[in-house]
Chains A and B, each alone.
Chain A
Amino acid sequence: METADLSHHISRRFNEDLERVRSKVLAMGGFVEHQLHKAVTALVEGDSTLGESVARDDQQVNNMEVAIDEECSRILATRAPAAGDLRVIVAIIKTITDLERIGDEAEKIGYIASRLATMERPADKYREIKHIGRVVSDMVHDGLDAFARMDVEAALRVARQDRLVDEEYEAIQRQSITFMMEDPRTIRRALDVMWVVRALERIGDHAKNISEYVIYMVHGKDIRHTSLDDVERDLRAGAAVEPLPPAARS
Chain B
Amino acid sequence: MQPATQAWGFAAVRLAGTVVLGVAVGWLLHNPWGGLAIALILHLGWMLAQLFRTEWWLRHRSYADPPEIGGVWGEIIAQIVRLHRRKRFHKQRFVQLMRQLQRSTAALPDGVVILNAQREIVWFNRMAARLLNLRRTADLGLRIENLLREPQFVRYLARGDYANPVVVHQSSGTDTWLSLQVAPYGDGQLLLLVSDVSRQMRLEAVRRDFVANASHELRSPLTVISGYLETLAQEPGLDPQLQGPLSEMRRQAERMTAIIHDLLELSRLEDTDEAVTAAPIDVAALLALLRKDVLARPLHPHEVRVRLDSTARLLGDEPEIHSAFSNLVDNAAKYTPPEGSLEMRWWVDEDGGHFSVTDTGMGIPPEHIPRLTERFYRVDPGRSRATGGSGLGLAIVKHVLQRHGGRLQVQSVLGAGSTFTCHFPPERIEAAPLTQAVRFS
> Is B83 an interface residue when CB atoms closer than 8 A count as contact?
no
CA distance A37 to B169 in the complex (A): 10
* Distance in angstroms between the alpha carbons of A39 and B214 in the assembled complex: 28
Which residues does chain A contribute within 8 Å of B173, judged by CB atoms?
138, 141
A102 → chain B closest CB, angstroms = 13
Cβ-defined contact, B274 with A26, below 8 A: no
The answer to whether B141 and A53 touch across the interface, beta carbons within 8 angstroms, is no
* Residue of A27, A137, A141 touching B154 (CB-CB under 8 A): A27
Q: Which residues of B contact A31 (CB under 8 A)?
A: 149, 151
The answer to whether B149 and A29 have CB atoms under 8 Å apart is yes
Contact assessment for B149 and A19 in the assembled complex, using a CB-CB cutoff below 8 Å: no
Q: How far does the alpha carbon of A53 sit from the alpha carbon of B273 in the complex, in Å?
A: 12
Point out the residues of chain A lying under 8 angstroms from B150, CB to CB: 30, 34
**A33: contacting residue among B120, B135, B149, B274, CB under 8 A:** B149
Q: Is the Cβ of B149 less than 8 Å from the Cβ of A26?
A: yes
Known: A27-B154, A30-B154, A149-B139. A137 touches B172 (CB 8 A): yes
Q: How far is it, in angstroms, between the C-alpha of A134 and the C-alpha of B438 when the chains are bound?
A: 53
Among A30, A31, A149, A250, find the residue whose CB has the most chain B CB atoms closer than 10 A: A30
**Any chain B CB within 8 A of the CB of A59?**
no
Q: How distant is the Cα of A151 from the Cα of B150 in the complex, in angstroms?
A: 20
Cβ B172 vs Cβ A148 within 8 A = no
Could you tell me if A148 and B151 are in contact, using CB atoms closer than 8 angstroms? Answer: no
**Highest count of chain A CB atoms <10 Å: which of B150, B169, B171:** B171
Question: Are A53 and B139 touching (Cβ within 8 A)?
Answer: no
Whether A145 pairs with B147 at a CB distance below 8 angstroms is yes
Residue among B135, B146, B274 with max Cβ neighbours from chain A (10 Å): B146
Contacts of A22 in B (CB 8 A): 146
Q: Contact between B120 and A148 (Cβ–Cβ < 8 Å)?
A: no
With known contacts A34-B150, A137-B171, A53–B145 Cβ distance under 8 A: no
Whether the pair B143, A23 counts as a contact (CB closer than 8 A) is yes
Whether a CB of chain A sits under 8 angstroms from the CB of B142 is yes
A26 and B172 form a contact (CB under 8 A): no
The count of chain A contact residues (Cβ–Cβ below 8 Å) is 22
The count of A-to-B residue pairs whose CB atoms sit within 8 angstroms is 51
Task: Report how far A31 CA is from B154 CA in the complex, Å.
Answer: 9
For A33, the closest partner residue in chain B by CB is B149
Contact status B138-A149, CB under 8 Å: yes
Name the residue on A nearest B148 (C-beta).
A30
1/0 contact string of B287-304 vs chain A (CB within 8 Å): 000000000000000000
Q: Is the CB of A149 within 8 A of B142?
A: yes
Q: A144 an interface residue at 8 Å Cβ cutoff?
A: yes
Q: Which residue of B lies closest to A31 (CB)?
A: B151
CA distance A23 to B153 in the complex (A): 13
Q: A27-B149, A30-B149 are in contact. Are A148 and B142 (CB under 8 A)?
A: yes
CB–CB B151/A53 < 8 A: no
A138 touches B151 (CB 8 A): no
Check A144/B149 contact, CB under 8 A, given A27-B154, A33-B172, A137-B172.
Answer: yes
Contacts of B141 in A (CB 8 A): 250
Q: Which of A10-31 contact B (CB under 8 A)?
A: 19, 22-23, 26-27, 29-31
> How far apart sit A110 and B149, CA to CA, in the bound complex (Å)?
21
A107 to B208, CA, bound (A): 29
B171 touches A37 (CB 8 A): yes
Q: What are the residues of chain A within 8 A of B149 when measuring CB–CB? A: 26-27, 29-31, 33, 144
Chain B 134-170, CB-CB to A under 8 Å as 1, else 0, gives: 0100110111011101110010000000000000010
Q: How far is the CA of A26 from the CA of B172 in the complex (A)?
A: 15
Chain A residue numbers with a CB within 8 Å of B145 are: 23, 26-27, 30
Q: Is the CB of B171 within 8 A of A19?
A: no
Which of B58-91 touch A at CB < 8 Å? none
Bound: A27/B119 CA distance, A: 14
List, in ascending order, chain B residues with CB within 8 A of A23's CB.
143, 145-146
User: Contact check: which of A19, A30, A142 meets B151 at CB < 8 Å?
Assistant: A30
Q: Given contacts A23-B146, A26-B146, are A138 and B138 in contact (CB under 8 A)?
A: no
CA distance in complex: A137, B172 (Å): 7
Q: Which of chain B's residues have a CB closer than 8 A to the CB of A145? A: 133, 147
Chain A residue nearest in CB terms to B135: A149
Residues on A with beta carbons closer than 8 Å to the beta carbon of B274: 53
Quick check: A19 and B143 within 8 Å, CB to CB? yes
A34 proximity list for chain B (CB < 8 A)? 150-151
Query: In residues 138-177 of chain A, which contact B (Cβ within 8 Å)?
Result: 138, 141-142, 144-145, 148-149, 151
Q: How distant is the Cα of A19 from the Cα of B150 in the complex, in angstroms? A: 19
Contact partners of A144 in chain B: CB under 8 A: 149
- Across the two chains, which residue of chain A brings its CB closest to B168? A34
Name which residue of chain B comes closest to A27, CB basis.
Answer: B154
Residues on the B chain within 8 Å of A250, using CB: 120, 141-142
Given contact pairs A26-B145, A148-B146, A151-B138, a sample of 16 additional A-B residue pairs in the complex whose CB atoms are under 8 Å apart: A23-B143, A27-B149, A30-B145, A30-B149, A30-B154, A34-B151, A137-B171, A137-B172, A138-B173, A141-B173, A145-B133, A148-B142, A148-B143, A149-B135, A149-B139, A250-B120
**Could you write out 21 A-B pairs with CB less than 8 Å apart?**
A22-B146, A23-B143, A23-B145, A23-B146, A26-B145, A30-B145, A30-B149, A31-B149, A34-B150, A53-B274, A137-B171, A138-B172, A141-B173, A144-B149, A145-B133, A148-B142, A148-B146, A149-B139, A149-B147, A151-B138, A250-B142
Across chains A and B, which 4 residue pairs bring their CB atoms closest together, nearest first?
A: A30-B149, A141-B172, A148-B146, A37-B171
**A residues with CB within 8 A of B:** 19, 22-23, 26-27, 29-31, 33-34, 37, 53, 137-138, 141-142, 144-145, 148-149, 151, 250
